[in-house]
Structure 1
Amino acid sequence: MLLGRPWGRCHPGQCALFLVLALLLDAVGLVLLLLGIFASLDYWDFLVYTGSLILAFSLLFWITWYSLNIELPLEKLDL
């Protein structure tokens, strides 16, 4: 058990849209970055910079997805 939950269960959380957007931006950014690095193209720098920016932008979706899935009982809140 990991943190009180069974091992075999995968749960994307409450905001699956942010998870899908983060994964999609990661895939697109990685493809552009690797294409810019390994392909012999005249515009390789555009692909490298664009891929890096897309990967950095995907971090916003990862942070949003993670922070919206934090579950805290009402007893632990000091309201």
Structure 2
Amino acid sequence: MLLGRRWGRCNPGRCAFLLVLALLLDAVGLVLLLLGILASLDYWDFLVYTGALILAFSLLFWISWYSLNIEEPLEKLDF
């Protein structure tokens, strides 16, 4: 047991929508990036750049999901 929790438990947190959106953008970006690299297409550069931009954009959702899931007790906050 790690900090009183079971190992097999998965908790997406309060913002599950942001987590799903980040995972979806990661999958789409990776597919486009690999398709542009591995397929012999005339527009490979468009796929590579678009995939890389989508992966970079997904970082915003990962940061938002992580930031909104931080839990701090009100006693520790300085007002």
1:75 aligns with 2:75: yes
1:71 and 1:5 map into 2 onto residues whose CA distance is 16
Structure 1 runs of 4+ aligned residues shifted over 4 Å read none
Structure 1 unmatched runs, 5+: none
Alpha-carbon separation, structure 2, partners of 1:60 and 1:2: 29
RMSD (CA atoms): 1.0
Which range is displaced more, 3-12 or 32-41? 3-12
Percent identity over the alignment is: 87
TM normalised by structure 1 equals: 0.94
Q: Taking structure 2 as the reference length, what is the TM-score of the superposition?
A: 0.94
**Inter-partner Cα distance in structure 2 for 1:27 and 1:46:** 17
Please tell me the residue identity of whatever aligns with 1:32. L
The aligned runs of 1:16-27 (5 Å cut-off) are 16-27=16-27
d(CA) in 2 for partners of 1:3 and 1:68? 21
Aligned residues: 79
